[in-house]
Structure 1
């Protein structure tokens, strides 16, 4: 598999994953969206369908990792060379940022309307109003990246490790393509269903990033977008949805080699 194949597949596939996954978060969150307040199940199925779409697009080109944690797990398992890992990482990050920007374009008018509803008025008490506005604008970050419901470093990290372990061990034990370097046709469908299951069962505490590129790439886009009153990008938490999934993937790769190899 060539470097250009990896980059093409991972950029396209990850962009589609984030476009549909971030898109469902935007649909549920933003003012005047037809799906506003549709709820958690809508979000979990939206992300599952995002995985399904992105993985079908990329499976025949790059193996459809779409996730640095999956790439690490496959490298430990022996499905890909370690020298290919940085190329996969690059494609996944570029794709995630592209997908997040496409969400912004698709919902541009709704972002403007949403921010207008949160606009800070000038005059007495403006600072208090600004503080309240930033608090209300929190869900805008949630369109792009994850945040915990209870902020506790050990708990949040543990949740991401466990959830990513489930994802990666499920991928490693079924449905790999003939080369063993990514998802096969059946594996794409099974993985999408596993992601829905993780979201329903384990997504409540942290929003189940389970993918460093899925969280970090869109978080960078959120930081760069020219949206007034969008709130902070929560960089103090940003390392957890990067480190947690990588640790979970390392454990999953090790368990696979001990139990199944």
Structure 2
């Protein structure tokens, strides 16, 4: 007789969010370090590695915690009453901690490479760990990046809800993480110019904090000297709610309830049977 499934409890869910987000950041920040500091790869390899990191992180955590891996996802689900508010702060803490530890591991592993590429640990390699407006080189400023983060995260949440809504044409459970990873690849390739597509407060703040503690004194500012760290936190939180809300209004309210069986196909008419 099979043992009943254990209920993980909040501590177990936090552990899963920590582990899943850590996996995500190990691949995401790791690939940026390889491209920016090591000179191996390009924008496409960054987009693909971030997407694969999301896929693997979701596979790690989904069974235990639902694999939010992103405070914007957690917050949006709580706003629309799909998730308990009492779990919001613990989930966000676990996600940020996972991102922080993963970034420390990347920082440690790439110590020599980062030191050679940027001995002063300046804005030149700050983007390995945290995002910058215009990726540090293009003429995008704070409000342009803020707008970008709202839009990018709205797209993320809109499509995630479509992919995970069992009333919709959701992919099979074991394929869901793969398709969500492809979604992140697509956002990176289409929406990465203005602000580096953080679309995740934990993804940006955890590594930003890790870089600050390991020699990047300017981590909280952008290339213009402006305080910037709040943009990839507040923008995604707003965008996530907007995207989830749009899904509820445009799609969710027209789907049958979970208890309501789908309508059967109409019986064929005599004419249809005769011509079949």
TM-score normalised by the chain length of structure 2: 0.79
Question: How far, CA to CA, are the matches of 1:46 and 1:138 in structure 2?
Answer: 23
Higher RCO, 1 vs 2 (CA within 8 Å, ≥6 residues apart) = 1
Q: Which moved more, 1:240-249 or 1:145-154?
A: 145-154
Contact 1:13 1:55 in 2 (8 A): yes
Structure 2 unaligned regions, length at least 5: 1-7, 222-226, 254-276
Structure ID, larger Rg? 2
- Which position in structure 2 is the counterpart of 1:129? none
- Which position in structure 1 is the counterpart of 2:149? 160
How much is the aligned-residue C-alpha RMSD, in angstroms? 2.0
Question: How far, CA to CA, are the matches of 1:185 and 1:176 in structure 2?
Answer: 14
* Offset of residue 140 of structure 1: 1.7
Alignment of 1:148-187 (within 5 A): 148-149=133-134, 150-175=139-164, 184-187=173-176
- Which position in structure 2 is the counterpart of 1:55? 58
Considering fraction of residues, name the structure with more helix.
1
Q: Are residue 2 (structure 1) and residue 9 (structure 2) matched?
A: yes
Contact 1:24 1:43 in 2 (8 A): yes
| CA 184–68 in structure 1, closer or farther in 2 if over 3 Å, else same | farther
- Which position in structure 2 is the counterpart of 1:221? 210
Q: Are residue 14 (structure 1) and residue 4 (structure 2) matched?
A: no
- Which position in structure 2 is the counterpart of 1:242? 233
1:117-157 C-alpha deviation (Å, 9 max, x unpaired): x46xxxxxxxxxxxxxx7xx323211100001234232211
Contact 2:133 2:142 in 1 (8 A): no
- Which position in structure 1 is the counterpart of 2:46? 43
Q: Are residue 207 (structure 1) and residue 193 (structure 2) matched?
A: no
TM-score normalised by the chain length of structure 1: 0.83
Contact 2:107 2:211 in 1 (8 A): no
| CA 79–184 in structure 1, closer or farther in 2 if over 3 Å, else same | farther
1:37-69 C-alpha deviation (Å, 9 max, x unpaired): 521111111111111111110111111100000
- Which position in structure 1 is the counterpart of 2:126? 141
Structure 1 unaligned regions, length at least 5: 120-133
* Offset of residue 223 of structure 1: 0.6
Number of residues of Structure 1 aligned to a counterpart in Structure 2 = 232
- Which position in structure 1 is the counterpart of 2:181? 192
1:143-185 C-alpha deviation (Å, 9 max, x unpaired): 100001234232211111010001111111113589xxxx943
Contact 1:18 1:50 in 2 (8 A): yes
Question: How far, CA to CA, are the matches of 1:184 and 1:154 in structure 2?
Answer: 38
1:192-233 C-alpha deviation (Å, 9 max, x unpaired): 0000000000111110110001001111111100x3xx4511
